[in-house]
């Protein structure tokens, strides 16, 4: 016979067992059903017990997630680059990110911001970006020396940015734009054109700047070329029309690519390949002209945009 103390202990054990049934064992077949099923975390609630412990339902498994290493990111204040000098970097390969872009230009001086432009929905790179320099001379040097250099898997194109950067104040001058291409270029590339825009509308809009000789619209691709009588008119059109809204869509204006630009790019590539073959591969184009003439680097530029400023295409 149990004494009164043992009876109280037995009653406590019986009461406890009512709420702490052992979890039934799962058969191998049943266990396979749950294989690969994600585990859901149950939130810890202090109301379930005085100590705040998580109550385990006999027929559920739960895990308390440890968040010791999960901390909210501290957002540093945005750097004001509106007074800086912005370099447009085009023809970026898809693997280039902000850090890669900044590292490529760091040798030219302090960089306030380096940004690869991405699609807001897919977050995929749009193939161009901007590098901001507080010092104009550093930006100019970067444009001159980085144009045609390799970043990632592709040769980049550099020039002055001719649009407002992050809503900042425009600091690109007429001279910057005028000197960004050769003297014979009178053609303006117009990107971001609405599908409903017509040749006549473009002619009317750009004729407000100066006399337009010709408009070529590629409606399906969403871009066009506008040719003026002289380079001065084309430069003024880029300054005035870039960022304007036509049929509800903001257009982008920059210099188009011409035959002279193709020749300059080909010379840059040929010089780079000459240095490469002489110092690394060990043969010269003079020794093996057939192999040199079959080099595949030059044809890749035929029909591709030059990316003067934001976008440029062959006229």
Write the CATH number for 250: 3.30.70.330
Mean pLDDT (the chain) is 71
259 plus 303 within the same structural domain: yes
114 plus 224 within the same structural domain: no
169 in a domain, yes or no? Answer: no
Phi-psi region of 278 (alpha: psi -120 to 50; beta: other; left: phi over 0): alpha
pLDDT in tens, 231-244: 999 999 998 898 89
Count of domains forming the chain: 2
pLDDT in tens, 25-66: 555 555 555 455 554 444 444 444 444 444 445 444 444 443
Confidence of residue 193 (pLDDT cuts 50, 70, 90): very high
- What's the domain range around 265? 179-315
pLDDT in tens, 125-168: 888 889 999 999 999 999 989 988 999 888 998 887 765 434 44
Last residue of a domain, one of 109, 127, 161: 161
Nearest to 147 by CA among 254, 261, 302: 261
- Residue 88's pLDDT is 86
2 in a domain, yes or no? Answer: no
The larger pLDDT score, comparing residue 3 to residue 47, is at 3
103 in a domain, yes or no? Answer: yes
Measured N-to-C along each axis, helices 199-207 and 231-241 cross at an angle, to the nearest 10 degrees, of 100
74 in a domain, yes or no? Answer: no
The larger pLDDT score, comparing residue 198 to residue 287, is at 198
315 plus 219 within the same structural domain: yes
6 in a domain, yes or no? Answer: no
288 plus 214 within the same structural domain: yes
247 in a domain, yes or no? Answer: yes
- Residue 142's pLDDT is 94
């Amino acid at each position: 016979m149990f004494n009164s103390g043992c009876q109280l202990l037995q009653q406590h054990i019986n009461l406890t067992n009512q709420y702490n049934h052992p979890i039934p064992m799962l058969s191998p077949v049943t266990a396979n059903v749950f294989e690969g099923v994600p585990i859901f975390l149950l939130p810890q609630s202090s109301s379930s017990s005085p100590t705040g412990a998580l109550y385990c339902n006999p027929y559920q498994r739960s895990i308390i997630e440890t968040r010791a290493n999960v901390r909210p990111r501290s957002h540093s204040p945005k750097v004001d680059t509106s007074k800086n000098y912005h370099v447009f970097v085009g023809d970026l390969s898809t693997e280039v990110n902000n850090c890669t872009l900044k590292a490529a230009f760091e040798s030219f001086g302090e960089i306030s911001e380096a940004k690869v432009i991405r699609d807001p929905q897919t977050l995929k790179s749009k193939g161009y970006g901007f590098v901001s320099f507080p010092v104009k001379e550093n930006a100019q040097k970067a444009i001159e020396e980085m144009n045609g250099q390799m970043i990632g898997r592709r040769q980049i194109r550099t020039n002055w940015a001719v649009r407002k950067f992050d809503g900042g104040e425009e600091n690109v001058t007429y001279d910057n734009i005028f000197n960004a291409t050769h003297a014979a270029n009178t053609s303006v590339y117009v990107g971001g054109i609405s599908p409903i825009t017509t040749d006549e509308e473009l002619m009317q809009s750009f004729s407000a700047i100066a006399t337009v000789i010709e408009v070529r619209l590629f409606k399906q691709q969403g871009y066009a070329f506008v040719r003026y009588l002289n380079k001065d008119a084309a430069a003024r059109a880029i300054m005035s029309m870039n960022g304007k809204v036509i049929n509800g869509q903001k257009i982008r204006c920059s210099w188009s690519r011409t035959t002279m630009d193709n020749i300059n790019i080909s010379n840059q590539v040929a010089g780079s390949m000459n240095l490469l073959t002489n110092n690394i591969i060990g043969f010269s184009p003079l020794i093996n002209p057939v192999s040199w003439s079959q080099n595949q680097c030059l044809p890749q530029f035929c029909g591709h945009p030059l990316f003067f400023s934001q976008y440029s295409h062959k006229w």
